[in-house]
Structure formats: structure tokens, C-alpha cells
Structure 1
Amino acid sequence: MYLSIDEIADRARSFVYDWQDYEGKEIAEAQTFWNDLFMVYGRHRLKLASFEASIKKMTGSSGRIDVFWPGQLLVEQKAPHVTLDDTVMQQAVGYVEVLPEAEKPKFVVLCNFHQFKLLERASGEITEFSLADFAKHYYQAFMFIAGYSEFITYQEEEISLQAAELLAKLYTAIEDGDNQPSLELNFFMVQLLYCFFADHTSLFTDSKSARPFQHYLEKHSNPDGRDLHNHIREIFEVLNTPKEERDARLPDDLKSFPYVNGDLFADTSYRLYSNATIRERLLEVANFNWADISPAIFGTLFQTITDPKTRQIRGEHYTSETNILKAINPLFLDDLEQEYELCKENLADLTQFIEKLASITVLDPACGSGNFLVVAYRELRELELKALKHLHKDKRERHMIQEAMHAQIKVNVHQFYGIEIEALPSKIAQLALWLTDHQMNMQVVSTFGFNYTRLPLTASATIWNKNALTCDWNELINAKKLNYIVGNPPFYGARKQTKEQRTEMKRLFREVKGASQLDYVACWYQKSVEMMQLNDKIKGALVSTNSITQGAQVFPLWHRLMREENLHIHFAHRTFKWFNEAKDKAQIHCVVIGFARFPIEKKRLWDYDIITNKEGERVEQVSERKSALAINPYLVFDDEMIIVQELKTPLDPTSPKMAFGSMPNDGGHLLFSAEEKQAFLTLEPKAEPFFRRVMGSDEFLNSKERYCLWLLDANPLELAKMPHVMARVNAVREYRLNSKREATRKLADTAHLFGEIRQPSAKYIIIPSVSSEHRVYSPMGYLDKNTIMTNSAFSLENVTPYLFGVLSSRMHQVWLASVGGRMKSDYRYSVGLVYNTFPFPSKPTPAQQAKVAGLAQQMLEVRNKYLSQGATLANLYDKSKFYLYQDLVKVHRELDKAVERCYRKEPFDASLSNMDRITFLLSQYKLYTDTLFHPADDNEKPIN
């Protein structure tokens, strides 16, 4: 009879514990070691393999194979600390070569008690792992010993996807069986999930069966499935009843289930109408190996199965552990790790450290299905386990360790709190923490070799099913007892908020000018600060859309928090792409911000750049910087907390004013493609003088040819003689009259004109209003006055080559990327927030201006060369292709240096990130604003 996977896993952990400190000689204990290893899989080595099997070498001399199982396994065993190098492998393979073909083993293993090296002869693949990791590799490496002919290793994501598919099939079968989707059904699924997990992780340890839940239903329920609900309900009731209160007449296989408590099975009111298909699907799910599923993904699994529109994992509801750790590591785990290293050799300090871990409290005020709480709890338990292992490092008697351990394992789920507006995720969060607790208890078993469980459940996380923005957090958890606030609140932008959400924001930001532009996530910063006002030792870290650190949102959110609430940013992950580990990976641009109402000495910033490697692939490069300087809302080091405020005119009044382009507001009736223009002129040749080339962001960047009817100076008598032109004008008139906006309806009186006309009267430059984040620079260019510019771009008249060079430089690009807003992830140019606030060099010399102007002209010439060959600006400046145009790269690099020398004596290092540049530009901005509010004499006035 085969052992179950769970039994083998338990034995593997005990095997590691028994042998982890062995330092003896090879001959003394090698046979015992391999006898024990075979027993992990429930097999007697004597019945399968011989020890010290004699063999005749190819040289004619005799040799001995340490462990030999003909056709299956050959082991070369060495003493501890002997290196398992190629020489040892050659020795083992040499034995294989002289064996008869029928006895040649499938696997060759080298071992020195602490390391394994396994060769699968058919594939030539070699797997190496330590004894400490044996419990992780037992399944992949040696399952053939147990008698399983086939075994498969899954990656975590593949396992999760399989689990999701199985649950989806079960849920669909339940729906198809006249069971209406409901919250009660979803809670019932939560209860089932606990049983699936418990069945595969030894939680039901009292049972004589390997998988008591699955086997009970297989044994007692009828194949037609009609009585399935009754048997499930019987199990739930038993799980919710203390053993001493159970009916003595219960059958033994029901009595053997443990008492769970925790109210998880208190509600057995749901009625499942079952059939053969539901029973088959449920048993299929029960048979799946749930031991390898992280509780952190349970929320995704349930989102998968309960969404009636889809049966696949949806990314927006699952936060990857990588991204969770970006918040919780610098918030508290890094400091705790350092503290452990400092105190671990002092028994009293180490004991006090363990007590400290048990006193930490964490709140996730937008907890969803508990991902952040699960990972944070797991990490605290692992740190506690590491400390306990060190505390007992000199003790070998298992019973002594066991007695002490039960009192010393103190970190528990009751230290974790969450607020969640939806009922189902709040239940899943509590369940996920219980199951994580059990996983950590299994690690205790693996580390110390004795059974340790926490059943019945006497502690639980506190998850409130409430709206976090309308309840008082301090009434839920006393702020004086709280240490950390962490989480990933909703990302709704200002325009995507519901009426209720906008009402919540107005209540929280009543007196804040510009608050209507804030993302919904800003509310959680405000609520967190309210808790910090009651306890200024609380620290927080929130994942947020990067838009709260850019553009128009910065001033209304951060000016007050930093100036009035004394908020300090302790660390931040600057903009990065938010990927999760689900099948359809959501991609959002996020930041992580750690904050508190007190300063710290060393602040930390992580910067994420997309670079092109040698293979031409775009990869993410991460760099960390530490500084005693403060971190400002743009997430750069800056002690003066400069926040850029939108201006109606440029900082320097001598700078030309920027304007929007002309808005057609024509329903498309005055606009033409090149082909449409030619077809129109075939019908109306007299209209040719009235056509103008039209240019917006898309046309400029992608070299698209478009035209418009520009009838500003047209004689009405001439227009009346062109029926096809008049048909277009009348169509515009009809379009405007049908508008819901009164202002648009008034424009019907001038239907032959663009709705708003702001056409420059001289040569001008065009600045796209939106440009891709994937471009090295946001390109600008000159247009003649006869090219009509639309409102998707901005214009500047009377622009000198010097000014054009500065605007085309890296310094201006950095300002745009840092201070400007975003359209999705793309750069969004703004007159008031980007151009008017940009601190141009204050005192460039004539020679410096001439240098910049000359390089700007060279850049245009190189650029035009490629444009004439069919390239587009969008392609030329794409980060993945820009390096191909070396002459363009070179002139831009020289232009950047020339512009930077207008600001300072030496240019910035081109290889450095943009953080130094934006810090410098903010200081220049402050000099300008100081000059505006404290005017200097004419000799000191900044000039353009």
C-alpha cells in the first residue's frame, strides 16, 4: 500500500531533523542514513536494495556500490564535507558502465549526508540540493522509491492555475445543478476550501485516513450525488463541535475529525442541491494537491470562480508577493532582521526580541482577501522560527525542545487586522491567515521534529466587513496599540469614481483646494494620518498609483500632509510596472510610499529604469539609494520639500507664452485624410485653396498626412458656389446643434470655422500633449504658420534655436516626467504645470546659448534625414530602437551637456539616473519662486 503524499512529506521533515547535525564518519552511519531515507517513502531498504554490493571494475579490481537497487538506483556515499565533484560522479558512473544492461539504474545519486547530487541517466539532468532542502525536493527526487511510476513538478503559478480551473469547474457544476450564485454559496465554498487544504496538510491529524474529508465522501456518498450535501453538513457540524460534546453514536471516521472552532463551520445553513456531476467535480478538487497552494492566492481563486462573466484568473485582484515585500520589507521586516542579527548571541536579548515579535500589530485598511496580511504574518513567523532555532541551537533532546517551544511560539494571527468592504473577501482573508498559520506550524514540525498544531482555533485575525472611509479606524483598533498600516487601496482615478466615492472624498478633503483631482487612494493617506495623530509612532506604507506623485495631484495632497500634518516619507519605490502572478497579468504604474509623522536618519529610494540589454531586450534595472536628505512628494531627495504649483504665466515673464492648438469641434466633417482630400477635390476642385495641412500629436509623431478645410478668410460668395463644401459646413452645423452643451450649440452660427481658433501667425514649434513613456525624449518640432495645429498639441511662437534646444534636452524631459501628469503611463504635457514652471537656465552666456542653438540645429538636420527616408519620430525616439541611430544619439548627448552647462559648471554624468537632475531642477525652481515673491534688482533677475 502506497503512503499518501502528506505522510511522505511529514516523514521527510522528520528525516531532515534527525540528520541535520550529523558530522560522523561515512562507514559508521551510512547504512542507517539510507535505511531512514527509504522509510520516508514507506519502503524497507533491505527488501529493495543492497548495501556495499560487490562489483568487478573494468580494471579487473573489485569495488563496492554503497547502495544498489538494480534497474533503479545506484548511490555513491561519502563522508560529511567531502566535495561531490566530477571525480566522485565519474566513480559512480564507472560502476554503471560495468553493470549488465538490465541492472543499469535509472538514477545515480552522490551524497555526503549534507548534500545530494542526483543524475537522471535518461535525460542527463542533474539536480543538486542540500539536506536542509530535502523536504522541498523529496517529491521530485525520490518518489520512485515510494512506488509511484510518474511524478510531476509544478511551478507555483501552474499549480495555482490548475487549482483555479478545478474550482471553476466545480462552481459551474453547482450553478448548473439548480444552485443560484449567492453569498451563502460563496461562504460554503470557503468552508470547502478549508477542508481541501486541511486534507493535504495534515490538519486533520486525528484521522486514521490520509485524506479523511475526501475518503469519507467517497465512501459514504452515493454515486448519484443526491445525498452529498447531507454528508458534507455532517462533517461541518463535527468540525464545529468539541469532542466531548459530540454524539457518542457517531461513526469512527466522523469522530476522528478534529474540532476546528473559530466559527468557520458554525453556519451550516446552505443547502446544496447535488448530482453525480457535482460529486465527481468535488472529489476531483479534493484529490488535487492543495498543500502547494499559497493562501495568498485564495482571493484570486475565488474571484475566478465567482465572477459570472469569466472563469479565468483576473489580475487586478491579486498582488504578487514581490510587490507586497516592496512595502513590508522596508516598513518593518528589514529593521527586525537587523535587530535579530545584533541580539541573537545574547540569550536575554534574543528572548526579548521574540516577545517583541509577538507584540507587533498590523492593519491593512483595504485588505481584500488578505494578501498583505498573509505575507506579513508568514514573514514574522519565519523570523520567530529563526530566532527560536538559534535559541535552542545547543539542545539536542527533542522532548526538552518540545516542552519549551509550546510556550515560546507566540506570534499569532490575532496580531493582524483588516478592513474590507466586501463580505466574501473578508471571510477569505481570515481563512487565508488560519491556513498560513498552519503552514508555519508545519515548518515548526520540519525544523524541530515534533508535531505542532493550533487546533481548535482559539485565535483569529480581526477582519471587519466595513467601508474603511466611513468608519472610525480608532474605534475598530485602538491607535495606541497599532504599529503598522500597510496595504494596496483601490486605484480609481478622479474621473472613474462613483458618486458615493466622490462624496467620501469630499468629506475627507473638505477644505482642500484641488482635491477633486485626487485619486481615490489619497483617502487612505488621509485616514492613516488621522490614526498617526493619535499615535505618532505608527508607520505606514501604501501601494498607490504613481499619479499621486505627479502633476496636479501633488500640491493638494502633499502640501497639507507635509506642512500641516508633519508627515515624513521614510522610503519609496519610484514608478514601476505593477505585475502580479496571475494568468492575465494586470499592468499598472505604481509607487510604494512609506511614511510616518516623525523623521528618520536614513531614507531609502528605489529607482526602476527600463534599459536595453546587449540582446536588444528591454529589461527592468533596479537601484537603491540612501540619503540623510528628505524625500519630497516627487520621490526624490530634497530637504526643502519643494512642491511645484501650477502657474498661469511662465516663471520668467520674458519667455514666450504657450497656447493650445485649435479645436475643430466639427464631428470630423472638416477633416480629411490624404485620400479623402483627393477624392473631395475631384468633386469640388475650387476648394483646393482652402485646404491646409493639419497637425496634432498623432500626425506629428507618426508622420500621418491629414488635411482640413480652413475657411477662416473665405469669401461667403465663393463658399456658396461650392455645394460639396457647403454640405460639409451644414453637417458641422447639424452636429453642433445636436450637442448637449450650450456652448457647442452656439458655435453652430459659425459652422464653417473650427470651434476654437488659436492658430499662430508665424513659424512655431509643436509640443505633443501626450508622448509615450517608451520614448527617450518627447520630440518637438518647427511648423510653418500655414500648418493648422489641433488642440491635441501646444504651440510656441517666436522660439529661438536656443530655447528650442533647451526644450528638446534631457533636463526638460526630466521635468516633464517628474512634475507633469500622466495619461495612463504616457507623459502628459501641461502649460501651467510643466512649461510655465520650468526653471530655464538663469544666466546663460552668449557663447553657451550659441552652442545650444547650433546643436539643436544639428539635431533637426539628423532627424530630418531619417524622416525623409520614411522613419517617424515615434520610431526614432523609441527606447528600444534609439540606440540604432548613433548620429542622432550623439548629437542629443552633446545637446544635453551643452544645456546642462548653461545651468552649472559641469554637466551631469550621462549614466546617472534622473534623480539628481530633478533634485537640481527643483532647487532652481525654488530660486525662481523666491525671486518672484522677493524681487531682486534688475541685475539679478533671471533671464531666459
Structure 2
Amino acid sequence: MSVAKPLSLAEIRKRSVAFVRDWRDEPGAEKQQAHQFVADLLKVYGLSESKAALYEKRARRSSTGRGGYIDALVPGLCAIEMKSKGVDLEAAEQQALDYLDALSGAEMPRWVITSDFATFRLLELSPDGADAITFTLEQLPERCDALAFLAGYQQRTFGSREQEQASVKAAKLMGSLYESLEASGYDDHDASVFLVRTLFALYADDAGVWERDLFYEFVETRTAEDGSDLGAQLSVLFQALNRESSKRQHTLDPLVQRFPYVNGDLFGESVSIPSFDSEMREKLLEACAFNWSKISPAVFGSLFQSVKDKAARRELGEHYTTRTNILKTINPLFMDELRERAVAAHHDVKKLKKLREDLAKVRVFDPACGCGNFLVVAYAEMRALDLQILERLQQLGALSETLFFVAANLKVTLDHFVGLELEEWPARIAATALHLVDHQANLAMELSLGAAPEPLPLTKVDSIHVADALDTDWRAILTPSNDVRIVGNPPFLGHATRSATQAQQLREVWGRQDIGRLDYVTAWFKKAIDYFAGFEGGRFALVSTNSIVQGEPVPALFGPIFEAGWRLRFAHRTFAWSSEAANAAAVHCVITGFDKNAQPPARLFSYPSLKGEATEAPATSINAYLVDAPNVLVEQRRQPLSPELPACTFGNMARDGGGLIVEATDHDAFAADPVASRYLRPFVGARELLHDLPRWCLWMVDLDPRDVAASPLLKERLEFVRETRAKSRAASTAAMAATPHLFGQRSQPDVPYLVIPKTSSETRLYFPTKHAMPETIASDLVFTAKDSDGFLFGIISSSMFLTWQKSVGGALESRLRFSNTIVWNNLPLPTPSMKTRSAVIAAGKDVLAAQALHPQRSLAEHYNPLAMDPALLKAHAGLDRVVDKAFGARKSLHTEQDRQAVLFRRYAELTA
């Protein structure tokens, strides 16, 4: 038996001519002829009357509550309302819309078609839909593409909100199906294979891969209602899909024979037969009723990857990699350049053809591809550009009419898109998603040019490899060349969360034992530069957390990259890669793209709001901190770079097991002890400093040994400290057991000093600090610096210092992490004039005065970014003006980026 294929637009146009000829002279009576008119129209697009439409679908009008009929309904696709010739079609359209509230979700159409036999009116119901369009019966052959959705063609904007919403719903349907398979005890690997095959069949039903709703018809008519034979029947079908029609058994069910040969290795593997029940069959039928042609392969792939995880299933649709974020990577890396070439070659046939040849050379490689969303979006964008070029060549009369009938003439093909993925499940999804986006691209070509490669049989996707990217030689996966573009979103794992195995992988990739605070993702950067060794034209761009451009890891990562001849071609500064899940924290990310070319000018994207849109600016040179400034690397320094800065020292570390610390619950007992009270001192760490919390310690640098015997409290505490230290595995701590009355490490200032917290919230507008007297003991959770005149207080309390802290200081979790060796000792503070120094001190006193207006408030309350007092904000603004000038700003500075440029320029000058 021959296999029915989806109609080409050429065939649709041919049929539409016959349709017009048959109906142009008919009277157009609504009641007598509507049914036949609709049936004939659907046949033009390859939809059989028996299974495509529900005629006179009973419905209730929402406006009146009265019952009525929709003339014809193609569930999930379109509603058709017929009127006699000359009747107002807008009114008919409103009548059709009035009936829609009575439909189920699966039946709800995307389009409404109204006609009076002489005119068609078409309305798209999606949020992205435009105004209704009208055309006459005589115009149908030339406007047949307007109704091409009836044959499975989709006029969509790739990545539209509607596609995303459809993809979320589709993934939930598949998640429900997987839950049932999992609960039945079906093998996990076999379930993976089954779900991917089912996904393809569902999509093929709606997207013109084979006859519309053929799989739906099979499930509905060839399987028992109790689901008992569903698994066996699907196995028969899937085996048939893997065999050429001419080689199938002649005794096969005629309905199975109507399915075409798929190939592509999708149905090749032999797996066990799943067992179904009636509820599971209903879930599959519910999935069949959904319009799968509307999904985005990229978004759906991300979601589909999550259906096997219970926690992820609960929040399905609330977190996925959006097309927008993927385009932030691929556009500035290579797509923008290719599009600009297309625009420049608009009138030049030779250049347009050369551009097509260059498209054919490009290879996109994602070495952490997951479900393939970067590859899918890149493929869609490149095919869209190739189609744009072909359309222009056609306009210029330079296109061979036979060019599109064979896949060999395509310049952008699936094998040019290569992925590495650790796990089998997402790799299967990636290969399937590439098939889906390839079909969508072919539909777009068919719609525009009238012909495209046949959808079936599929070409096997051999370019998605299941392997550990860090243990694999990338050159063995894809031969390096100047036309390779590496993109991706490797795992978000900070140095603190990497496993021992991952740490060892980092050592092997970097070729050294000391990997410091390098994040796991940095291994992909090193693999990329090793992969391109000896090639000047390659490019790569990776998404990562912003920790790679902050603090100690920056020189360790970017030093080798720059030394190998790479530059930052573009960068997206910190933005929120956010989840819509309730209470989920957004990941702060950056995107860095590299090449070895001097041109084009670097592009820097900044985000005034982390969740907002980017603003772009050309850059002379983007440095490792993603600033248009000199390319410096800030490394640990033992002494301050600026002669204006005193030493900044780590606080006092007790290493006592808590024995020398006195909490509020024990304070009264120690205060009442005439001996122990002489050694009781206020004790300040970051928490005490920021929240104004009382805490004390026993500070016994001048201990009189006789006092130990005189105070049971002291004796008990010192014995506890000695025992705790003696048990320590650290030899240095065990040695301290000999002096249990002393803090293990002591650096207490003997003059008034500035207390600097080791960490501070990243949301604060300023870095909080406070003066303390030498009687207040600083813990190891703060740093101390001598500040006799208040100059340092003014510097640290400024936006300039906060900018430096954020730029080079790194973070602990998401909090800002102060460091004396990185942040303080490298602060590029010029020597100020006496006038400037006095101005900074005076402005700092204004800040203290503003704080004093509310003496009951802690520093955390003063610097709550949502509730800062106007007087305090004003004082800080005044301080910023004088500190900016102290660092050499020649104009008013308003943004973090402005201040970064000043700071790195000053740093380059001081270290030259």
C-alpha cells in the first residue's frame, strides 16, 4: 500500500484552482451547501472529511446562553463558520467566537475562518496574532498559504511567547505520561526510548510529517479502551516505522501501512513492551488531542529533560533556558556578522552565493549540550538566514528551480551541529529536538519557496555524543577549524560545591595540582583554548556564573586565555538567569565570547536592572572584569599598592571551641565575678557589627596566673580550651593547648581602628563599616585598619570602594567577600592633596551625622536598600562626589561601569 504524504504547497495551489472552478458559480446557500463547501476546502489541504472536522459541533453561546452549532471544527486548529452570500462576515466571526467558551482546552482553535462562499475572513486567536485578513474565492490559489496551517504549515515567530506556553503544556502532558510509566515499574531506559518515540509521533501528527492525526487515529481505533493491548500495538507500529514500506509484511493492518518510513535511528533500538491501563491510555489520547505543531523544540527540549525528575516535574514550565538568553550568546559570536553580510550583499548575487557557501562551512559545537537547546536555536537561526538569502536570490532571478527538491542542496545541515552530553536521556532529546527544528525549517522553506526536502525518511543524527566533556578529546569529536563556533552553558558549580571527582577533573584539565578557587565551569574554557590551539579563526562563548569575573579566580582563568592570544569579542555583564519558580533565587550570570581578531570592535552589554534589558556599547578593550578599560589582572598583594593605605589585618582567631567567647546568656555571671570580669571585653564580628548585637570574649594577654585559681569560671573555661585544642588534628592548634588563655591568632590594634566586615549583602548600596576602640576585640570575621582621622572611613563608605569590592573581591555564596590581599592592598587610591583629604574626611563625618539622626538603628537597618533614610542617601551622594574626584574622575560618575573604568585605568597607571 502506498503511503500518503503531506501535501506540498504546489499541490495545494493546484487543488485550490479546481476548488475555485467548482464553486465560483454556486449560489452559496448556507444550510444546503455549507457542509460540502467546508469538506471540499479541507480536501484542498489534504484533510479527509471523515477524521479532520466535527460538523455542526453543538455549543452554547456565552452571550445568550442559547444552544447552537459551530458549522465545522478541526479540534485544536480552527473553527469554520459559514454564511450565505452577502452576509456580514464580521458578525459571523463574532458568532463563532461566542461559541468558543463552550469548548474544551484540547478543542480550542487557534484560527477562526468565516466565509460566505465568495469571500474568506481569517482571524488568528493567539496573543501574537494580527488583525483579521480577507480575500476572495478567486484569490484562493494565490493566497492559499494563508490557510496552509490546515496542512501542518505554521507561520510563526520562532521563540514566540505562544510557542513557549505551548511547550510548557506539552511537557506537562509528557510528564504525566512518564509518571504513569514510572509507577507501573517500566524500565527507565526503555521509558526514555518510548517517550522520545511518542514525542515524534505526536509532533508528526500535527506538523505535516505524515497524514494529520494518523497516530491519534491509530491509538483511538486500534487499541482497547482498557489499554491492555496498547503497549503491544505501539510496538508493532514503532517497528513498522523503522522499516521501508516496500519491505513491510503485506498482512500488516492497513492503517499501520499508511504510516511512512521514518528511519533516523529513532525507532531502531529494540526495547521491552510497556504495559498500559485505561488511565494511561487516556493520558496518551489527551496528548494526541494537543496541537504539537506549536511547540518550540528548544524550549520543549529543556522542559522534556525535566520530566523524569519528581521535583522538577512539580515546577515544570517554571525554569527553562529561553531563546532570548541563547541568542545573547550566538548572535554576537557569529550570527550578527552573518546577517550583516546578507544585508551588505543584498544586490550582489555573487556575494549572496558566497555567503551561502560560508554558511556551509560553519560548525556549531556545544560541549555541554544537555537537551540541545543551544544547537536547536543556532540551527533555526542559520536555516532562517539561509532561507532569507534564497528568497533574495529568487527575487534577483538567480535561483535554480530544482535546487530545493533534494536535501543535498541545503547548506545548513544537522550534522554541522555537534554536541557532547554526559547523560543518555538529554542526548536523546537533543537529537529528537534537532529533527523537529529541521522539519520546522523545511516547512518555512516550503511555505516561502514552494518546495523543500522531503520530511521523511529522517537522516540519522550522529553528531550528539554521550560522553564526559572533560574526559573527552574534543578534537576526536569534531576536527578543529577556523569555522568552528563553540557555545554552551556548562554546569553552574562554584568552587565550594564541586565534588572531589570534579576537583580532580579540574586539575587534569588545567594541568596543575593547585586549582585554588577556580569554578568547575572554567575547565570548559581551558578545553576550548586547547581545542583551538594552532587555529586563529575559531571562536567560543560560554555562559557562566559571574564568580569567574570576580576575585581570586580571575587571573587564574583569564591569564592563560589572554596569553594564548584570545580577546573578549563580546561580553554580557552580570544579569539574572532567573527561574519563575516560587522562592527560587536567580543565578547571576555572565556570557563571555572570545576570538583572536582585532576587528570588529568589541561589544559590551550591560544591565541597569539585573532582570531587565541589556544596553550595548562598543568597547576599545574588554578586560577580565568585563569593563572597557585596560586589560589588567588583579592578583594577591602582600602590601598596599597605595601609600595612603595602612595595613589591613585579619581579626583575632580564638581557635578555642567557644571557650573564650562569652554569649549574652553567660554575661551576667562573668560580669559578677570580680576576677573574671577584669578580662571581659566587647567582642565584634561581622554579625555583631552589622546588627549591633552584644557579645563578649575573655581577653587575657596580661593574665595573672593567680587569677585562674581565684575564679572557678576562668578555670573551667581554660580547661575546656586546653582539652579542645589538645584533641585537634591540626598540629598548630594542638600546640596552642599550652596557652589556653590566649587567642590562637592575635592582631588586636592598640589604637582606635576601623572594623571592616568580612562579608556584606550584595544588595546594599554601600559597604558598611564602623570605628571601634582598642578595648573592643575584633573577631576573625572582620578586618581591622588604623584610621586616626576618618579618611579611610570616607573611602570605604563610598560608591567607588563598593565598585572595587564588587569588581575584584569575589563573593561568599552571593554575599560580597572582603579581602585584604585582593581588595584592600590593590585599591588604586592616588595620593590626595591636603584639600582633597580634608574634603573626604568632612564628607565622611556628614555620613556619621546622618546615621546619628537615628541612633537606635543598626548598620544593617541604616543600609537596608529598600529603606535608607533620605538624609543618609544625601550624605553618601556628597561623599561620592569628593571620593570620585580623589580617584581622578574628570566628570560626574553615575554608574558602576563609569567608576570601574576610572579604577582600572588608575590601577594600570599605578602598576605600570
Bin for the TM-score computed over the shorter chain: 0.7 to 0.9
Compute the displacement of 1:437 (Å): 0.9
- 1:818 and 2:807 aligned: yes
Deviations 1:486-516 (A, max 9, x none): 11112322333233322222223225x8533
Amino acid at match of 1:198: A
Structure 1 residue corresponding to 2:385, chosen from 366, 375, 383: 383
Given the alignment, which residue of 870, 873, 888 partners 2:872? Answer: 888
* Residue in structure 2 matched with residue 489 of structure 1 by the alignment: 490
Alignment match, 1:710: 699
Distance in structure 2 (CA, Å) of the matches to 1:741 and 1:873: 36
Alignment CA distance shift 1:213-1:854 (3 Å) = same
Residue of structure 2 equivalent to 1:851:
839
Instruction: Sort the Cα spacing of 1:70 and 1:876 in 2 relative to 1 into closer, same or farther, 3 A.
Output: closer
Q: 1:245 to 1:701 in 2, by over 3 A?
A: same
State how far apart, in whole Å, the 2-side matches of 1:297 and 1:127 are: 20
The 5 Å alignment of 1:200-599 reads: 200-203=206-209, 205=210, 207=211, 210-307=212-309, 311-313=313-315, 318-393=320-395, 409-448=410-449, 453-458=454-459, 460=461, 462-480=463-481, 482-510=483-511, 515-563=515-563, 565-580=564-579, 587-599=586-598
1:71–1:576 CA distance, 2 compared to 1 (3 A): closer
- The answer to whether the aligner puts 1:656 opposite 2:646 as a matched pair is yes
CA contact (8 A) 1:485 1:541 kept: yes
Match of 2:169 in 1: 162
Q: 2: CA distance between counterparts of 1:658 and 1:46? A: 78
Counterpart residue identity of residue 187, structure 1: V
Give the conservation status (yes or no) of the 8 Å contact 1:315–1:584.
no
**2:555–2:635 CA contact under 8 A, matched in 1:** yes
| Offset from partner CA, 1:111-143 (integer Å, 9 cap, x none) | xx99988999xxxx99853759x99999999xx
Identify the residue that residue 173 of structure 1 maps to in structure 2: 180
Distance 1:665 1:645, change over 3 A: same
Q: What is the CA–CA distance in structure 2 between the aligned matches of 1:742 and 1:283, rounded to whole Å? A: 69
2 CA distance for matches of 1:136 and 1:530?
Answer: 50
1: CA distance, partners of 2:270 / 2:873:
69
2:860 is the alignment partner of 1:874: yes
Please tell me whether the aligned partners of residues 489 and 542 of structure 1 are also in contact (alpha carbons under 8 angstroms): yes
- CA shift, 1:665, in A, is 3.0
Match of 2:904 among 922, 926, 941: 922
2:887 touches 2:902 (CA, 8 Å); kept in 1?
no
Q: 1:185 to 1:697 in 2, by over 3 A?
A: same
Tell me by how many angstroms 1:237 deviates: 0.8
Is 2:597 aligned against 1:643? Answer: no
Tell me the SS of whatever aligns to 1:358: helix
Alpha-carbon distance change, 212 to 451 in structure 1, aligned in 2, over 3 angstroms: farther
Maintained 8 Å contact 1:514/1:556: no
- Aligned in 2, Cα 1:108/1:664: closer, same or farther, shift over 3 Å? farther
Q: Kindly provide the amino acid, as one letter, of the partner of residue 628 in structure 2.
A: F
Q: TM-score, normalised by structure 2?
A: 0.81
Contact 1:328 1:486 in 2 (8 A): yes
**Residue in 2 that maps onto 1:26:** none
Q: What are the superposed Cα offsets for residues 21-74 of structure 1, whole Å, 9 maximum, x if unpaired?
A: xxxxxxxxx999x99999579668998313434xxxxxxxxxxx4665397169
> Would you say 1:49 and 2:50 are equivalent positions?
no
- What displacement does 1:731 show? 4.1
Contact 1:51/1:67 (8 A) holds in 2: no
Query: Helix, strand or coil: the match of 2:607?
Result: strand
2:359 partner amino acid:
L
Cα offsets for 1:859-913 (capped at 9, x unmatched) = 11112323x1x3332343344334xx23222222222221232343x544232x3
Tell me by how many angstroms 1:764 deviates.
Answer: 0.4
Offset of residue 834 of structure 1: 0.8
In structure 2, distance between residues paired with 1:488 and 1:126: 29
Counterpart of 2:20 in structure 1 is: none
Deviations 1:339-385 (A, max 9, x none): 11111233333233233323321111111111110111111112222
Deviations 1:187-212 (A, max 9, x none): 23222222222223222x2x4xx322
Are residues 126 and 353 of structure 1, via their aligned partners in 2, closer, same or farther at CA, if it must alter by over 3 Å? Answer: closer
Task: Answer whether contact 2:349 2:398 (CA < 8 A) is retained.
Answer: no
Q: 1:400 to 1:303 in 2, by over 3 A?
A: closer
Is 568-577 or 488-497 further displaced after alignment?
488-497
Does the CA-based 8 Å contact 2:887-2:903 persist in structure 1?
no
* Aligned counterpart, 2:760: 771
Give the letter aligned to residue 49 of structure 1.
K
Cα distance, 1:402 vs. partner?
8.8
Aligned to 2:617: 625
Quick check: 354-363 or 373-382, which moved more?
A: 354-363
> Alpha carbon RMSD of aligned pairs, Å?
4.2
SS across alignment from 1:304: coil
Call closer, same or farther: CA 1:70–1:130 in 2, change over 3 Å: closer
CA contact (8 A) 2:298 2:377 kept: yes
In 1: Cα distance, 2:334 partner to 2:859 partner: 46
- For residues 754-812 of structure 1, the C-alpha deviation after alignment (integer angstroms, 9 at most, x for no partner) is 33322221110011111122111112211111112111110002443223322322222
Alpha-carbon distance between aligned partners in 2 of 1:440 and 1:536, rounded to the nearest angstrom: 32
**Matching residue of 1:603:** 602
Separation in 2 of the partners of 1:39 and 1:648? 82
Contact between 2:171 and 2:300, CA under 8 Å: does it hold in 1? no
Taking a change above 3 Å as real, the CA distance of residues 168 and 584 of structure 1, as seen in their structure-2 partners, is: farther
Query: Residue 761 of structure 1 aligns with which residue?
Result: 750
1: distance between equivalents of 2:850 and 2:426? 57
Give matches, 1:698-737, under 5 Å: 698-737=687-726
CA distance 1:274–1:899, shift in 2 (3 Å): same
Separation of aligned partners in 2, 1:333 and 1:126? 25
1:897 aligns with 2:881: yes
SS of structure 1 residue aligned to 2:532: helix
Cα distance, 1:679 vs. partner? Answer: 5.5
2:95 to 65, 69, 72: 72
**Is the contact between residue 299 and residue 318 of structure 1 (CA under 8 Å) also seen in structure 2?**
no
Distance in 2 separating the partners of 1:359 and 1:586: 40
**How far apart, in 1, do the equivalents of 2:531 and 2:262 lie?**
35
Work out whether residues 544 and 592 of structure 1, in 8 Å CA contact, stay in contact via their aligned partners in 2: yes
| Residue number in structure 1 paired with 2:58 | none
User: Which residue in 1 is equivalent to 2:102?
Assistant: none
Residue-by-residue CA offset, 1:194-238 (whole Å, 9 max, x unaligned): 2222223222x2x4xx32223212322233333222211111111
Q: CA deviation at 1:836?
A: 0.7
Counterpart Cα distance in 2 of 1:74 and 1:191: 36
Unaligned runs of 5+ in 1: 1-5, 20-29, 54-64, 76-105, 142-152, 612-618, 931-944
Quote the Cα distance in structure 2 between the aligned partners of 1:274 and 1:909.
71
* Cα gap change, 1:908 to 1:288, in 2 (>3 Å): same
Q: Which residue identity is paired with 1:892?
A: H
Aligned 8 A contact 2:638 2:825 in 1: yes
- Deviation, structure 1 residue 604: 0.6
The CA deviation at 1:331 is 0.5
CA change 1:276–1:72 in 2 (3 A) is closer
Counterpart of 2:768, as a letter, is: P
Note the C-alpha offset of 1:315: 9.2
Query: Is 1:910 the equivalent of 2:890?
Result: no
Deviations 1:529-574 (A, max 9, x none): 12222321111111122222221111122223212x1111111011
